[in-house]
Amino acid sequence: MELYSERKYLIGALIIITSVVFLGKLFSLQIMDPSYKLSASSNVVRRVTEYPSRGLIYDRNMELLVSNKPSYDLMVTPVQLSEFDTIELCEILDISREYLENNLKRASEFSRFRSSVFLKQLSAESYAVLQEKLYKYPGFYVQPRTLRNYHKNIAAHVLGYVGEADRPFIRNNEGYAMGDYIGVTGIERTYENVLKGEKGFRNFLVNVHGQIMGSYQEGRYDTPAFVGSDIVTTIDASLQEYGEMLMENKRGSIVAIEPATGEILSLVSSPSYDPSLLVGRPRSSNYRKLAVDTLNPLFNRALMAHYPPGSIFKIINGLVALEENIVSASDQLYCPGSYTVGTLTIRCRFHKSPVNLPEAIQYSCNTYFSDLFRKILDHPKYGSVTNGYNVWRDHITSFGLGDKLNSDFPNELRGNVPESAYYDRFYGENRWRSLQVVSLGLGQAELTVTPLQMANMTAAIANRGYYYTPRIVKEIKNGTSLPGEFSTKNYTSIDSTWFEYVIDGMEAVVNGPEGGTGRLAEMQSVIICGKTGTVQNPHGENHSVFVAFAPKDDPQIAISVYVENAGYGATWAAPIASLMIEKYLTGNVTRKWLEDHILNADFITNED
């Protein structure tokens, strides 16, 4: 009996302790924790997300590029639905009966008690009509949102676009939920954390018809939304708009950089698209159309296209030879009209001969630079072609080539400056010779760069040996500092004393008294230093390339222009660059004949 009595008391004690724990927890949830009370009252309290407006985006001169416009999501809470006029609602929303039924079913499957989006991004006009009759549709309510509003049809690849966050993104990024909008490309993506702002929440009392009767508990449990921070870009909107006009009916890119800061003044990728196409309810269908367009307007050629640099690369090879004391700037070489070794023949254009280094740049002499490149790799002081190649490659990569520049663009790609191991695998270790890779001396073969890298390389030359990491954002208005690497000089491995020789050659390309390859780029009031390139294209017409900076002694702009399948660099890329330079430095263009020459060129619609 005693054992039975002890067990009875023990069981009773356990019951009492358990009851006290449960009562305590119940007290805590119902009395001490108001958030539970709010949740339990969800049948009469509606918790509405207050979405912040994204930050505004300006150009470098504070011209507004991107703002926000009102939009509205139609929400539904299935448990609150009652019979309603489906025909009228479909007419108001411009949807089919099938769409209505499918979305109501989807909402019920998601949750009968929780709200979900029934129809996204109602226009202000549709919202105005719906708002007057919303009382007739219990269970439905409208949640305000904002959409991006573009003030000019420019810079789509720079600005990027906004889309709905998907499940993988939400899993990997705290604070996001289904239905949230995020930056997908461009500035919108890189500076998402700055632009997005902070969501808030408001709680309302609603009646049986779903109509809001007032604030719950006088807003005691509400949290305010905070708008995103504004951003000032480095882009000159006027220059950007002009560059996009010049590149109409052309494939290619323009990248302009301020050498003294690394700020990107213009970044044009052509063909492009109207950024407003990727806003609102038509965004998905418009994106599908753009994605299958054979002109590939979504592809950012300025950052992602890999091109052989062609003859513009001769400048860098000249600097390497000077730095390594392979030649002096005054050493001359006779050009018979081609570079011939055994069965290999590399043709050259007719020009004055013999030529020294600046003259070889002026006339873009293939013979001179083929010979010069081989002299670098074959020099006895390196001991082997492989060692000579590695020395050459180290100098080349110091200009930011062969890897990402780490700009503030999310989709920047690296170029390719092959390592010696690549040729070891191809020809066998220590079994390849300078003649087998001589095309690298002319900017061809496996060598590839992006247009952004071309412009950055030119900025480094303009600065006589250093560059700043290119960037697209000038200022964040909330006071956030930009990363330190954007204000740090990146020095090349070439001593500053050697740059004047190649710069003299670049000046002669445009302004030489005996004629250079880039005479169409000449300006009367400004000395432009440039280099043309005509890049071989095995799939069709050659590509037209030009890099330049100006003015010579006070560089304010460095630029690269790449026009696909357009032929000679002197004919198309050089005048485009010159017009951009004139537009930026003077504010207008006086050479209307040259402008018309470019605007009337069409390398897309006239294709066979």
For 585-607, what is each residue's pLDDT tens digit?
Answer: 999 999 999 999 999 999 997 55
> What's the whole-number mean pLDDT along residues 123-138?
87
> What's the whole-number mean pLDDT along residues 40-51?
69
Confidence label for 441 from pLDDT (cuts 50, 70 and 90): very high
Cβ-based burial of 525 (10 A; exposed 0-12, middle 13-18, buried ≥19): exposed
pLDDT at residue 38 greater than cutoff 50: no
Beta-carbon contacts of residue 149 (< 8 Å; ≥ 6 apart): 66, 67, 68, 69, 276, 279
Residue with tokens 């504004």: 230
Would you list the DSSP string of 247-290?
TTT--EEEEEEETTTTEEEEEEEES---GGGGSSTTHHHHHHHH
pLDDT at residue 8 greater than cutoff 60: no
pLDDT at residue 15 greater than cutoff 80: no
Q: How many CB atoms lie within 10 A of CB 288?
A: 10
pLDDT at residue 229 greater than cutoff 90: yes
At 222 the pLDDT is 86
SS3 state of residue 98 = helix
- Provide φ and ψ at 143, rounded to 5°: -115, 120
Radius of gyration of the chain (CA): 33
At 210 the pLDDT is 59
pLDDT at residue 25 greater than cutoff 60: no
Give the whole-angstrom CA distance, residue 64 versus residue 493: 40
Task: Answer for the pair 309, 535: CB distance below 8 angstroms, yes or no.
Answer: yes
pTM of the entire structure? 0.88
Residue with tokens 């939304």: 225
The DSSP output letter for 230 is P
pLDDT at residue 539 greater than cutoff 90: no
Give the whole-angstrom CA distance, residue 306 versus residue 342: 31
At 36 the pLDDT is 45
What is the rounded average pLDDT for all residues in the chain? 90
- From the list 346, 319, 279, 350, the residue with the least C-alpha distance to 517 is 350
The DSSP output letter for 554 is S
Angle at alpha carbon of residue 354, lines to 348 and 359, rounded to 5°: 75
Instruction: Quote helix, strand, coil % in the chain, to nearest 5.
Output: 40, 20, 40
Instruction: Tell me the pLDDT tens digit for each residue of 562-576.
Output: 999 998 888 999 999
pLDDT at residue 419 greater than cutoff 80: yes
Give the whole-angstrom CA distance, residue 456 versus residue 462: 10
Give the whole-angstrom CA distance, residue 374 versus residue 297: 40
At 226 the pLDDT is 94
Give the whole-angstrom CA distance, residue 165 versus residue 176: 8
> What's the whole-number mean pLDDT along residues 368-389?
97
At 3 the pLDDT is 45
Instruction: Tell me the pLDDT tens digit for each residue of 327-359.
Output: 999 999 999 999 999 899 999 988 999 999 999
| Domains contained in the chain, CATH given | 47-233 (3.90.1310.10), 237-286+299-599 (3.40.710.10)
pLDDT at residue 26 greater than cutoff 60: no
At 22 the pLDDT is 59
